[in-house]
């Protein structure tokens, strides 16, 4: 029966690709108001290592949601996660290896995606087509084109899609970004996002291709990526450092700081990008840089600088190790320190309780998603698909410039490079059948 429903789902999504909405509409719940006003939102978490554990904890402890199903291509991870959830809640979740079976289950209202990056947009698009609301981890996409397709899918199917950048629900950030937008220190002209993340970052060595372990469905793990032999360095974390699956540290940790910088600068997509760096000191299998500096320019003259450093840091006169700063006409802003004038005098603002802030950063972001699922109002979301797309595009553009080794001109309207077919080739990928994203979603 599972294979039958999977085939039906693939058939239905293929119909969407051809321009005919075959069967998907039958899976949709009401978009006018929450169909089960007095019921909890039923969530399936997809991808259970790393951030997936936080998803399970949040959705299983919120008052208005419950985790009714789990999905992972690694049976050991799946079973261990199920046992922990049952111990915590006393309830037995449904278990799935293939997310297409999740999407064919109309008892599930929403999916929460914590897979490797190369699955983010495809899983979310399929979720929208199957009538599910979607919480998707950062970055929203693995490349520019599929991120835009997810924005289109969310709109076309009337789904609630939340991007997993938790700082968008942080009460202090929401206050301070609004103050920046309101001109509290004048017009902001420069934003900086820094990620000097040395803890847990090291050489990953070199592993030879081998047969995948029996507990892992290697075909499903690869999904839309080009097929290749299994390697222990891909699963379960180091995939971040390979272009086929991850987006380097820029798309891993820096995407948080990038999101805040983009949000505060409030300039939309850039018109130019220049990125440089390298993978220094580590003689290993990783492909992505461990040191990278990217500069973005905008049509209105504003500038954003984003920096990654994973091979050690030092006390640079007390500047941030990981965080954000903004420079404006009348002063500057430093994360966790606040607003200052250019004589370095603090500018006081109304306080926000620390305990309220910490609650809002994690549970509050998941809770905001559930609130929006129930209200059916996209404007209730703190991190919409479009906002996540814009921030993720910055990460992708920086990586493309780095990989090509040169500056690039970008057209924000078309989301393509200016007269540069070589750079345009990096805006999407060759998707492996049947894990396809159609032009019409």
Residue 221 lies in a domain: no
Q: Is the pLDDT of residue 47 over 80?
A: yes
Residues 119, 181, single domain; the answer is: no
Residue 187 lies in a domain: yes
Residues 194, 270, single domain; the answer is: yes
pLDDT of residue 51: 93
Residue 409 lies in a domain: yes
Q: Is the pLDDT of residue 357 over 60?
A: no
Residues 11, 42, single domain; the answer is: yes
DSSP string, 313-348: ----TT--SEEEEEEESSEEEETTTEEEETT--EE-
Q: Is the pLDDT of residue 209 over 90?
A: yes
pLDDT in tens, 173-208: 999 999 999 999 999 999 999 998 877 799 999 999
pLDDT of residue 325: 96
Residue 94 lies in a domain: yes
Residue 48, domain CATH: 3.40.50.720
Residue 84 lies in a domain: yes
Residues 61, 120, single domain; the answer is: yes
pLDDT in tens, 115-145: 999 999 999 999 999 999 999 999 999 999 9
- Phi-psi group of 298: left, alpha or beta (phi > 0 → left; psi -120 to 50 → alpha; rest → beta): beta
Residues 179, 316, single domain; the answer is: yes
Torsion 364-370-374-375 (CA) sign: positive
Q: Is the pLDDT of residue 87 over 60?
A: yes
pLDDT band at 383 (very low <50, low <70, confident <90, very high): very high
Residues 99, 150, single domain; the answer is: yes
pLDDT in tens, 48-82: 988 999 999 999 999 999 999 999 999 999 999 99
Residues 152, 250, single domain; the answer is: no
Residues 40, 184, single domain; the answer is: no
pLDDT of residue 30: 38
Residues 179, 283, single domain; the answer is: yes
Q: Give the separation between CA 275 and CA 295, rounded to whole angstroms.
A: 6
Residue 210 lies in a domain: no
Percentage above 90 pLDDT, the chain: 82
Residues 149, 193, single domain; the answer is: no
Total domains in the chain come to 2
Domain coverage including residue 330: 171-204+238-349+385-421
pLDDT in tens, 11-24: 444 444 433 232 23
Residue 231 lies in a domain: no
Residues 83, 115, single domain; the answer is: yes
Classify residue 283 as exposed, middle or buried by CB count within 10 Å of its CB (0-12, 13-18, 19+): exposed
Q: What is the mean pLDDT of residues 356-362?
A: 52
Question: Which residue would you say has higher pLDDT here, 413 or 349?
Answer: 413
Residue 23 lies in a domain: yes
CB count in 10 Å sphere of residue 295: 18
Q: Please indicate, yes or no, whether the overall pTM of this predicted structure exceeds 0.85.
A: yes
pLDDT of residue 199: 73
Question: Which residue would you say has higher pLDDT here, 157 or 36?
Answer: 157
Mean per-residue pLDDT over the chain, rounded: 90
Q: What is the mean pLDDT of residues 382-404?
A: 98
Residue 274, domain CATH: 3.30.360.10
Kindly report which listed range (18-22, 113-117, 330-334, 372-376) carries the lowest average pLDDT score: 18-22
Residues 10, 94, single domain; the answer is: yes
Percentage above 70 pLDDT, the chain: 87
Helix 144-156 / helix 385-404 crossing angle, nearest 10 deg = 170
């Amino acid at each position: 029966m599972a294979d039958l429903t999977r085939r039906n789902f693939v058939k239905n999504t293929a119909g969407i690709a051809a321009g005919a909405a075959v069967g998907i509409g039958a899976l949709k719940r009401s978009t006018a108001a929450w169909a089960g006003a007095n019921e909890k939102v039923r969530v399936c978490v997809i991808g259970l290592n790393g951030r997936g554990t936080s998803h399970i904890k949040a959705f299983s402890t919120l008052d208005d949601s419950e985790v009714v199903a789990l999905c992972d291509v690694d049976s050991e991870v799946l079973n261990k996660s199920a046992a922990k959830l049952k111990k915590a809640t006393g309830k037995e979740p449904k278990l799935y290896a293939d997310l297409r079976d999740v999407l064919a289950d109309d008892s599930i209202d929403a999916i929460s995606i914590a897979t490797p990056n190369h699955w983010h947009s495809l899983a979310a698009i399929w979720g929208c087509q199957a009538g599910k609301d979607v919480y998707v981890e950062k970055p929203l996409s693995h490349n520019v084109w599929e991120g835009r397709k997810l924005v289109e899918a969310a709109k076309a199917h009337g789904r609630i899609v939340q991007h997993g950048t938790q700082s968008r629900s942080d009460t202090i950030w929401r206050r301070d970004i609004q103050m920046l937008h309101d001109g509290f220190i004048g017009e902001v002209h420069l934003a900086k996002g820094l990620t000097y993340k040395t803890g847990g970052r090291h050489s990953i060595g070199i592993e030879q291709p081998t047969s995948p372990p029996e507990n892992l469905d290697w075909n499903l793990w690869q999904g839309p990526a080009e097929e290749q032999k299994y390697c222990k360095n891909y699963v379960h974390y180091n995939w971040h450092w390979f272009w086929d699956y991850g987006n380097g540290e820029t798309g891993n940790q820096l995407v948080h700081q990038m999101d805040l910088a983009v949000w505060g600068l409030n300039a939309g997509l850039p018109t130019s990008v220049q990125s440089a760096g390298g993978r220094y000191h580590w003689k290993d299998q990783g492909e992505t840089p461990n040191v990278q500096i990217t500069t973005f320019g905008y049509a209105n003259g504003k500038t954003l600088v984003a920096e990654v450093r994973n091979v050690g840091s030092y006390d640079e006169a007390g500047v941030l190790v990981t965080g954000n700063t903004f420079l404006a006409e009348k002063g500057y802003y430093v994360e966790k320190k606040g607003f200052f004038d250019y004589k370095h005098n603090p500018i006081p603002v109304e306080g926000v309780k620390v305990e309220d802030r910490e609650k809002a950063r994690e549970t509050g972001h998941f809770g905001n998603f559930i609130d929006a699922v129930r209200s059916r109002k996209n404007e209730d979301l703190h991190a919409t698909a479009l906002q996540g797309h814009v921030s993720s595009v910055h990460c992708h553009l920086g990586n493309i410039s780095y990989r090509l080794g040169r500056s690039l001109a970008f057209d924000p309207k078309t989301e393509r490079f200016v007269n540069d077919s070589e750079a345009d080739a990096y805006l999407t990928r060759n998707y492996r059948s049947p894990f396809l994203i159609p032009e019409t979603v």
